Amino acid sequence: MTTLAGPAPPPEPPAPSREPRPRPLTERLGRADRVFHRVAAGAGAALFLLLVLIGFFLLLRSAPALRTAGFGFFTTIEWRTDVDPPVFGVLGMLSGTVIVALIACLVAIPVSLLAALFITEYASARLRDTLTGVVDLLAAIPSLLYGLWGMAYLNDRIVPLSRWLADNLGWIPIFSTRAEAELTGSMFIAGLIVSLMVMPITTSIMREVFAQTPPGEKEAALALGGTRWGMIRNVVLPFGRGGLVGGSMLGLGRALGETIAVKLMLPQVPILSGHVLENGGATISGFIAHNAGANEKITGALLAFGLVLFAFTIAVNLVASWIIARSRSGSGVDA
């Protein structure tokens, strides 16, 4: 007797795997994220547009003065508006601006570097917070107060130092002085005043960069028997090199644009001189503040000076941003 077999049962589905599977990640911005992205992008575009408009305004208003002066605008030192056509040039003021800014940076950068290293590597947590607040507070002091303090107090008290430099280092051209030269109101003293305003900025930037040094690398250097200074020299400083250079150049940009303190300290007479200890000199920003409010011709020349300072400062800050973005300490910060 034969029996007919029915259709074979379907194969059982495989048992689901018990191994955990990673959940796929998808970039889905919420409403708040989209709003914030648009607001941030709009703010950035507005700042860039404002910068372009400032440059366009300076170029437009200074164009008649630049056409009158011609290429001599960049090679002339004299300032005379009592003749027709007027004679004016930016060379003397530009050299004074650069000299004062370099003096300020030469004084401020070493002090800022040591202060930043002490705050991040040597100070206790409580002292670190106190010093950080003090540095931020120094940045909030108006430049007018620095200028008044320098003019009323520091000006005469720096003269002995200037005289010592002239007597002992006079063989260096920048420290040489004439026999009866007046040593107050010099670019050297103005640079010292500006350095006090540069220090908070450079110290804050260097401190922030040094604080981002990977703790593992610092601990590894100490575990290998290195001293604290050896760890700083071989780990912290190489890591923060970009912040050191970038902070220094941002401080230079700050010094180039200082106005009120330099206006009070210098006589604002354009000269082309390397004798930084003698009375005299002018900076672009101080000269503009000193002569503001004059007639249309003078205002056009002052706006031409402002255009030069604007372009010079923008170039310095762009170079600083480029250095920070391509250093190890700035990697990943600026995409």
The pLDDT of residue 178: 80
Contact 172, 263 (CB under 8 A): no
Q: Which of 6-20, 112-126, 140-154, 206-220 has the lowest mean pLDDT?
A: 6-20
> pLDDT band at 139, cuts 50/70/90?
confident
Residue 61 has pLDDT above 80, yes or no: yes
Helix (H) or strand (E) holding 325: helix 296-326
- Cα dihedral 311, 317, 322, 323 in deg (nearest 10): 130
Using DSSP's 3-state secondary structure scheme, residue 79 falls into: strand
Please give the Cα distance from 159 to 286 (Å, whole number).
22
The pLDDT of residue 23: 65
Please give the Cα distance from 250 to 162 (Å, whole number).
28
The pLDDT of residue 329: 53
Higher per-residue confidence, 85 vs 249: 249
Contact 218, 230 (CB under 8 A): no
Please give the Cα distance from 182 to 298 (Å, whole number).
30
Residue 332 has pLDDT above 50, yes or no: no
Averaged confidence pLDDT in the chain: 83
The pLDDT of residue 170: 82
Contact 279, 183 (CB under 8 A): yes
The pLDDT of residue 46: 94
Give the percent of the chain with pLDDT over 70: 88
User: For 67-86, what is each residue's pLDDT tens digit?
Assistant: 888 888 888 888 877 777 77
Residues 210-214 have a mean pLDDT of 87
Residues 213-224 have a mean pLDDT of 85
Helix (H) or strand (E) holding 262: helix 260-265
pTM (whole model) above 0.85: no
Residues 130-151 have a mean pLDDT of 88
Residues 53-62 have a mean pLDDT of 90
What is the maximum span of the chain, computed from C-alpha positions, in angstroms? Answer: 140
Please give the Cα distance from 153 to 129 (Å, whole number).
31
By CB atoms closer than 10 A (0-12, 13-18, 19+), residue 203 is buried
Q: Which domains does the chain have, with CATH numbers?
A: 93-295 (1.10.3720.10)
The pLDDT of residue 16: 58
Residue 335 has pLDDT above 80, yes or no: no
Give the percent of the chain with pLDDT over 90: 16
Residue 19 has pLDDT above 80, yes or no: no
DSSP 19: S
By CB atoms closer than 10 A (0-12, 13-18, 19+), residue 75 is exposed
The pLDDT of residue 53: 93
Please give the Cα distance from 217 to 208 (Å, whole number).
17
The pLDDT of residue 321: 75
The pLDDT of residue 101: 92
User: For 88-110, what is each residue's pLDDT tens digit?
Assistant: 888 888 888 999 999 999 999 99
The pLDDT of residue 254: 86
Please give the Cα distance from 243 to 237 (Å, whole number).
9
Higher per-residue confidence, 108 vs 13: 108
Residue 25 has pLDDT above 70, yes or no: no
- Which range, 66-80, 173-187, 194-208, 270-284, is most confident? 194-208
CA triple 154-100-102, angle to 5 deg: 120
